[in-house]
Each structure stands twice: as C-alpha cells, then as structure tokens.
Amino acid sequence: MPDNTEFVPLTWPDVLIMSPELLLGLCFIALIVLDLFLPRGVSRGWIGGLTLASLLGAALLVALRMIDMNAGEGDAAIISLLGDSYRIDDFGSLLKLLFLLGTSFVVLLGLGSTSRDDAITDKGEYFYLLLPAAIGAMAMASSGNLVTLYIGLELLSITSYILVAMRRKSDLSAEAAFKYVVTGGISSVFILFGMSYLYGVTGSVQLNAIGEALPGAVENYEAFVYVGFGMMLAGFGVKIAAAPFHAWSLDVYQGAPTPVAAFLAVVSKGAALAVVMRIVYSTGLFGAKDAGGAGQGDDFFFAILLVAAIAMLVGVFAALRQKNAKRLLALSGVANAGYLLVPIGLSITAVHSNNATELLFYLAAYLLMTIGAFAVLTVVGRSAGHDELKGFAGMYHRAPWTAAAMVIFLLSLAGLPISAGFFGKLFILLGAANAKAYWIVAVMVLSSVISYYFYFGLIRQMFMRSGSEDAVRVPLPIGLVIWLCAAGTILLGVFPGLLVDFIDSVFSFQGDLMR
C-alpha cells in the first residue's frame, strides 16, 4: 500500500509557530561560533548563562502559545505542520515546559559544578550541547509522524552520548559513553525495525493514518503488528531505563557528570515516555481487535504493565545492597520508570480516563525530587571526593539545611505524605484500582514499601552516622536548584490540585491525541 503522506514545506507563519525550537537552534549556532572565536583564556561560564536564558525564553514562548491556543471555548485547536508531521497541542506543550524546566535546572547545576571539575576540558560545549538535546526532546513530544519522531529521538540521543563523555580526563566517563553509545544504538535499531513493520502493514508513517489502517493490518498481518509494536516497546524500554532493559543506566549514570546524569534521568526518560504515550493513543492501539473480536490492544497494554511491574521490582530489590549514590539514584529511576509506565498501560475505560493527568503529574513530581537529589549529590560528592553513600555520613552536622532538603526529596521518592511523590503515586494507584488492575496495585505497594529501606538508609547516614567534619559548600546556582525543587515538591504535596486542575483544564484525549 503506498504512503500518501505529503510533507508540506514550512511557511513563515509556521516558522513563527515553531519559535521555541527555532530560538534554541539559533542560540545553539550562535554559542558555537562565539565559543570558537573566544580566546582559550576567557572563562566560558557566561555561555551557561546564555544557555539558561535561551531555555527560559523558549519556555516563555511555549507558555504564550498555550495561552493563545486555549483562549477560546472548548478544546484548543491543534496546529499541524509539515503535513501533520509536527503537531502543536496541549499534550506536547505541557511536556515541553517540563523538559525546558528540567534542562534549565541541569544548566544551573553545571554553572555550580563545571568550573571546579578539571576533567571537563570544554566547558562551553557542556552547556550549549544541552540546547539540541532539548530540541530533540521537544520534537519527540510533538511528533505526529514516525519519521519526525525518529529524528527527534536521534538528535536527543547523539547529543546525550557526547554529554556523557564530557569528562574527557576520566576513564570512567569514557567507559560510560562507550556503553551508552552501544546500548543506545541497539535500542534505536529495535525502534526503527518496529517502525518499518508498522509502515509495511499500514502503508503510512503518520500516527493517525496508522490508527485508521490498524484494524485491517491486525486482521491480515497480525504477527507483523505484534512484532512491530513489540520491537518498539523493547527499544523505548532501553531509552526509559525500565527493567529488564536497564543495565546500561547504572554505569552510565556513575560515569557521566552528575548534572548530565540528572538530565538523562528526567528529560531523556520523559521524552521517551511522551513518545510511547502518543504512539499508543494516537494509533488507537487500545481498540485494536482481530476478526474474531480478540483484543490485540489488551495484549500490548498488558505487556506495558508487565514491563512496569518488572521495572518496579527489579529497581527496588537491586537498590537494597547498593553503596554508590549515583547507582542508587539510577535504580530509583528504574523503579520510577515502572510507576510512570502504569498510566500508559492502563488504557482508557469508562471509569478511568485521566491517564495523561496521572502521567504528567508524577513526571513533574519526579523531575523536582530527582533533580533535587542529584543537586545535593553534586555538592556532597564534591566535598567527599567520591559518590559513595558514606559521603553523606554526618551531613546533618556539616550542612543541616541541605540535609533537610535531601530528606524532603527522599520522602517524596519513597511516596510518603506530604510530598509531591506521595500524591503522584496515589493518583496512579487509584487509577489502577479504578481500572481493576489489582495485580499492578499490589506490585506498586510492595515496591514502595521495599524502597523505604534504602531511602531511609540514606537518611540514617546523614543523621545517625559520624563522618568528615569538612563543611559542605553549596554554590549559589546549585543551592537555587535545591531549594526551588524542595519548594516545588512541598507545594505539589500540599496543593496537588493546582497542577491537576491545570492539566485537566487544557488536556483531553479526544482533543490532543485522537484527532
């Protein structure tokens, strides 16, 4: 079946609509040129400031576009560009705001740490390479087409490979980058292979067109449909670092600069989750049935929930004996990848239709508590000279306020009241209960209870163990990240309705993902 997709060239009004991505691209090129022409003796710290200003400017443009699109009555109109290959909708815009906020925090972490890290030789590149990575994540969130989706994925992946290797004088960083390139390349092959099968049986790369052709494809090429979606699930499982596709994350997080590890844990993971959500619901996978009425969609949703359950259990059990703080946070990310997959795998039912709200709320909470924890690890690791858990020993006496902030992040990661993580997990758990997926509810509760052991083990190190008497110095940019994340974690824990009501007011499945 021939593909009837027409790639319409961009017009000037289209360029203005894509102004957030265009701004980041222009700033990236400008910063490269300036970095090349500046003498080596000139500090590159100001490049970080310009990178931060670019990201905040792009976030402002996204917010203004959202306000303009939602100014009228009813669902906001979707803006389709390049023959519906690129879609500007509220789902993508909400995710873009999260990605830009997370990347801005990563830049601030870099401003407080790169100047003191002699292993990073090209400090300017460290900052402005985050711009194309953010563009890739934004493109993934707005893709309406498998081609643009893959371009965004590779843009994010390739720049992430370079960022992981930025500590050029560190053998650990070089090893981490090599492992990341190999596993990332393999996962991209799986994704591309799955896409090729979907194109082969549906004749289109457009997500909506795939949805229209999917019933016939299921009837005539059922095995190929399973292979296509199965390969893509495995490939994105690697990108999300969900068990059993997570092994790379421990070594990569440990070897990468700490702010880059935070970027991978939040922005890269969030972009992959956004793509999975869009593919699942834009293609109408939840309604896929064969001629006999058997639900193929149910099989795929069960597969997503199965990966989520494995990720939660493997993540928490593997973390029980972990002594390295970076690897501990990597395993925490594995478990949280499982929590984030649950709303996607629950499908839409008569009693459960707020999947996206659950995903977006917990992703926002995960961003705040994870980047906050990495920020604390940045200053503790610098003070101790290593990233082992014993570096946190006696931290309450050396930096009591920083220790208090870390307690907030750990309690939120554990899902205890009153924190953003508590309500995030609660909303997902209640959604699973409403969908009568009681077995995944049991897995969520079990994994959360087990996680208390290693999260409270870190608190025990800070408050009940004696350690070095050296003071923990907190640079201003990192301190700003710590307390902004701590304040956001508490705010969403005390007033979760603020974000939930906002998401519900602008997002709808029918308006954003199913047309």
Please write the tens of the pLDDT for every residue from 127-147: 999 999 999 999 999 998 899
Q: Give CA 321 to chain center in angstroms.
A: 26
Give the whole-number percent of the chain exceeding pLDDT 70. 91
Q: Give the residue, 351 or 477, on which the prediction is more confident.
A: 477
- Rounded Cα distance between 399 and 386, Å, is 17
pLDDT the model gives residue 113: 86
| Pair 340, 361: CB distance under 8 Å | no
For the full predicted model, state whether its pTM sits above 0.85.
Answer: yes
Structure tokens belonging to residue 43: 């500090």
- Rounded Cα distance between 408 and 324, Å, is 20
Q: Which of 182-191, 457-466, 504-513 has the lowest mean pLDDT?
A: 504-513
Tell whether the model's pLDDT for residue 457 goes beyond 50. Answer: yes
Mean pLDDT of 199-228: 87
Tell whether the model's pLDDT for residue 294 goes beyond 60. Answer: no
Tell whether the model's pLDDT for residue 349 goes beyond 60. Answer: yes
pLDDT the model gives residue 293: 46
- Rounded Cα distance between 170 and 98, Å, is 31
Q: Which of 118-122, 329-333, 426-430 has the lowest mean pLDDT?
A: 118-122
Tell whether the model's pLDDT for residue 514 goes beyond 70. Answer: no
246 Cβ neighbours under 8 A, 6+ residues apart: 311, 314, 315, 334, 337
pLDDT the model gives residue 469: 66
Q: Which residues of 403-420 are buried (b: 16+ CB within 10 A; e: fewer)?
A: bebbbbbbbbbbbbeebb
Cis bond upstream, residue 132 (ω within 30): no
pLDDT the model gives residue 253: 94
Structure tokens belonging to residue 21: 């991505």
pLDDT the model gives residue 315: 95
SS3 annotation, 79-139: EEECCCCEEECHHHHHHHHHHHHHHHHHHHHHHHHHHHCCCECCHHHHHHCHHHHHHHHHH
- Partnered with residue 86 across adjacent β-strands are 81, 143
- Partnered with residue 145 across adjacent β-strands are 206
Tell whether the model's pLDDT for residue 168 goes beyond 90. Answer: no
Task: Count the alpha carbons within 13 Å of 38 in the hemisphere toward its beta carbon.
Answer: 18
- Residue 436's region, left for phi above 0, alpha for psi from -120 to 50, else beta, is left
Domain extent listing, the chain = 12-513
Q: Give the residue, 44 or 440, on which the prediction is more confident.
A: 440
- Rounded Cα distance between 252 and 249, Å, is 5
Q: How many CB atoms lie within 10 A of CB 72?
A: 9
Mean pLDDT score of the chain, rounded to an integer? 88
Strands 79-81, 86-88: parallel, antiparallel or unpaired by DSSP? antiparallel
pLDDT the model gives residue 1: 40
Tell whether the model's pLDDT for residue 485 goes beyond 70. Answer: yes
